[in-house]
Amino acid sequence: MEIGLYLMSDRQRISEADRRFIIGRSGGRCNKCRIELFVQNEFGEKARLGDDAHIVASSDYGPRGNEEIGQQQRRSADNLILLCKTCHSEIDQQPNKFTEEVLLRMRDAHYRWVEERLGSTKVTKLRFHYLSYINIPRADMYASVQSIALPNFNLNGAETIRQLGINAGRLMAQYTSVLNVEELYSNVLTDETSIAEFAEGDYWFVNEVLFRTKRIAGYDNLPDAWRDDESVIYRDFGDWRLICLIDPRWITTTTTLVEFQSGSYKLAGLLHINRIEPEKGRVIASPLFLGSPDKGASR
Ligand SMILES: [Zn+2]
C-alpha cells in the first residue's frame, strides 16, 4: 500500500520492504525528535515530512562513509533510520557528534519507546464477525509494528473502499480472517477504564461497545464530511467521553453508512489514541478497525 511520496535521501535505491519496516518500527515518527512524519490536512492531502536516512552513508565520501561495510548492507533496513528533515540535516552535518554508534543507540531507544506505547496487554484474537470500517493506511502501519501480515491490497486508484466494488467484499473477508487468528498487542477498554490510563499513541481495543453517531455524512460530501473533527462516533464512560473520528472513505459498505447515520451502533474496534483532553473529559481516537463483534468469541 502506498503511504505517500517517498523522498530519497540519496541516489541509492532502498527496497520497499525495508522502507515499510523502518516506518513501522518507528511508529511513523522521527527517531530523534519523535515528531509525526505522516500527516494529512483537512482537504485529505497527505504529506511525508521525513527521510529514510543512512546511518553509514551509501557513498564512502558521505557522512560516516568510511566504515567497512558493503554496498548491499548499506541499503538494508539495518543501516536506515527514519528522521525528519531537520534532524536529518543536523545529523549528516555533524558526523563527529552523531557517529554510527550514537545513531544505532538512538534508533534502538526509539524502537523501544514505540513498543512501550503499543500497550502491554496481549489480546488473544480480536474476533470480528465482519468489519464495517477499515482505515487502511493506519491499519498498515500498525501491522508492520506488530509484524503481522495484513492483506497487501492494491486500491488501484480507488479513493474509498466502496469504489473497489466487488473487491471490497474480498478485502473485508481477508482482513477479518487475519484479525481473527493473530494475537495483537493492545490495551483493552472496559467500563472501569479511567481517562488517566490513556497515553497519546496508545492502541486500545473496544469490544461490544454501544456508540452514538454524530454527523456521519455520505461518500458524496468528501472530504467535507470529516472536516473540523465533526464526523464522529462517541461513547460516554462515566466522567469522560471517548470520541472516534470517522473518515467516511473507509466505511466499507453503503449499508454500514446508513447504520452509522442512524444514531447508535454496537461495535468492536481497535483504536489509536490521538489526543487526551482531561480538562474537557475527552479522549480523541482514530479507529483502525470497527466491526461487529464475533458472538462466538470467548471474550
Ligand atoms: Zn526530528
**146 confidence band (pLDDT: 50, 70, 90):** low
- Residue 187 alpha carbon to ligand 1 centre in Å: 28
* Cβ(202)–Cβ(187) below 8 Å: yes
- Whether 11 is in a domain gets the answer no
One domain for residues 128 and 216: yes
- Whether 142 is in a domain gets the answer yes
- Residue 32 alpha carbon to ligand 1 centre in Å: 5
Q: What is the pLDDT of residues 87-108, one digit of tens each?
A: 999 999 999 999 999 999 999 9
52-to-5, 10, 22, 90 alpha-carbon distances in Å: 12, 9, 8, 14
Helix (H, G, I), strand (E, B) or coil at 233: strand
CA 57 to the chain's CA centroid: 29
- Residue 155 alpha carbon to ligand 1 centre in Å: 31
- Whether 8 is in a domain gets the answer no
- Residue 276 alpha carbon to ligand 1 centre in Å: 23
- Whether 149 is in a domain gets the answer yes
Q: What is the pLDDT of residues 46-70, one digit of tens each?
A: 778 888 888 888 777 777 776 666 7
- Residue 85 alpha carbon to ligand 1 centre in Å: 7
Predicted confidence at residue 20, as pLDDT, reads: 75
The residue-averaged pLDDT of 136-153 equals: 72
- Residue 31 alpha carbon to ligand 1 centre in Å: 7
- Whether 49 is in a domain gets the answer yes
One domain for residues 206 and 173: yes
One domain for residues 130 and 235: yes
- Residue 96 alpha carbon to ligand 1 centre in Å: 18
From 51, 86, 117, the end of a domain falls on: 117
Between β-strands 128-134 and 264-277, what pairing exists: parallel, antiparallel or unpaired? unpaired
- Residue 184 alpha carbon to ligand 1 centre in Å: 29
Look at 222 and 126; give whichever has higher pLDDT: 126
CA angle 39, 120, 20 (to 5 degrees): 35
- Residue 49 alpha carbon to ligand 1 centre in Å: 9
Res 6 pLDDT > 60: no
* Count of domains for the chain: 2
The alpha-carbon radius of gyration of the chain (Å, integer) is 20
What does the chain come to in residues? 299
- Whether 2 is in a domain gets the answer no
- Alpha-carbon torsion 64, 69, 74, 77, what sign? negative
Q: What is the pLDDT of residues 262-280, one digit of tens each?
A: 788 888 999 999 899 999 9
- Residue 215 alpha carbon to ligand 1 centre in Å: 36
- Residue 38 alpha carbon to ligand 1 centre in Å: 13
Res 147 pLDDT > 60: yes
Rounded-to-integer distance, Cα 39 and Cα 278, Å: 24
Between β-strands 80-84 and 232-237, what pairing exists: parallel, antiparallel or unpaired? unpaired
Which residues, 6 or more positions from 56, have their beta carbon under 8 angstroms from its beta carbon?
64, 65, 67, 69, 74, 79, 100
One domain for residues 102 and 181: no
- Residue 83 alpha carbon to ligand 1 centre in Å: 5
One domain for residues 100 and 180: no
- Residue 61 alpha carbon to ligand 1 centre in Å: 24
- Residue 7 alpha carbon to ligand 1 centre in Å: 16
**Residue 146 carries which side chain, given as an amino acid letter?**
Q
Q: Which domain holds residue 162?
A: 122-293
Tell the residue number behind the cell numbers 511508529, with chain if given: 27
From 63, 91, 117, the end of a domain falls on: 117
From 117, 142, 173, the end of a domain falls on: 117
* Cβ(213)–Cβ(263) below 8 Å: yes
The residue-averaged pLDDT of 155-170 equals: 74
Instruction: Write the burial class of residue 269 (CB in 10 Å: 0-12 exposed, 13-18 middle, 19+ buried).
Output: buried
